[in-house]
Amino acid sequence: MSALDLAAFRATPLTKEPFDYLILPGFLKPEARAAINADYPQVTRPGSFPLSEVTYGPAFASLIGELRGDAVRAAFEEKFEIDLTDRPTMITVRGRCWERDGSVHTDSVTKLITVLIYMNSSWEDSGGRLRLLRSGEDLEDYVAEVPPEEGTLIAFRRSDHSWHGHKPFVGPRRVIQLNWVTSRRVLRYETRRHRYSAFMKKLFQRAS
């Protein structure tokens, strides 16, 4: 059984301004969430971690397999009117947020589509809520603010004006990030970069 509500995804219109995006609470089906959260990687440090650097259970592995599958790719191709054939996917996970996270940015030019799936059972804090912005100048100038609640999806097309960020938050904040990237060379580079970052964070944690 699919953990993803692709029918709801297809039915959700793409917002075109200030850049192409959509927001879908409930993209991850309610009946799938408990098992996936139980099998989510135990990430205790801030930062993004490639799947090769974490361990996780079968329900989470099944979700990852689905995200990498043809049905998901086809749904995103149709929604964003983009050919993702032979475009590799990169998946990372986060488990904790710290005060330096959330700075306003657009994502690197090597990313074509960014997908965020949040895995937090509830969210009361005013920080850590992703804002989609009209410009890179003002975090308060936003068109949408999304609490990172369990099952919620944000997806957008990377562009020079796909500005986003969030107010500071320190603590647990689970998110799966999927990107279609421009080439396998980029995928190898980004994977090495994330591995090195994860290694340095582990060393720092041991030394502190």
Summarize pLDDT for 177-198 with one digit per residue, the tens.
999 999 777 667 666 665 556 5
Q: If DSSP codes are grouped into helix, strand and coil, which group holds residue 94?
A: strand
CATH of 6-207, one of 2.60.120.620, 2.40.50.140, 1.10.760.10, 3.90.1170.50: 2.60.120.620
Give dist(CA 140, CA 145) in Å, integer.
10
Which residues have C-beta within 8 Å of that of residue 16, sequence separation ≥ 6? none
What confidence tens digit (pLDDT) does each residue in 111-139 have?
999 999 999 999 999 999 999 999 999 99
Q: Hey, where are the domains in the chain?
A: 6-207
Q: What counts of helices (H) and strands (E) characterise the chain? A: 5, 9
Q: What Å distances lie between residue 193 and 21, 84, 100, 186, 199, CA to CA?
A: 27, 23, 19, 10, 10
Residue 98, Ramachandran bin (φ over 0: left; ψ between -120 and 50: alpha; else beta) = beta
What confidence tens digit (pLDDT) does each residue in 160-179 have?
999 999 999 999 999 999 99
Segments in 14-93 forming alpha helices (H): 30-38, 58-67, 70-80
How many Cβ atoms are within 10 Å of 75's Cβ, its own excluded? Answer: 15
Give dist(CA 208, CA 205) in Å, integer.
5
Look at residues 52, 72, 53 and name the one whose alpha carbon lies nearest to residue 5.
72
What confidence tens digit (pLDDT) does each residue in 23-76 have?
999 999 999 999 999 999 999 889 899 998 899 999 999 999 999 999 999 999
Give dist(CA 9, CA 7) in Å, integer.
5
HEC profile of 144-157:
EEECCECCCEEEEE
Give dist(CA 80, CA 63) in Å, integer.
22
Give dist(CA 39, CA 17) in Å, integer.
36
For residue 183, the model assigns a pLDDT of: 78
Which residues have C-beta within 8 Å of that of residue 135, sequence separation ≥ 6? 18, 141, 161, 163
pTM: 0.90
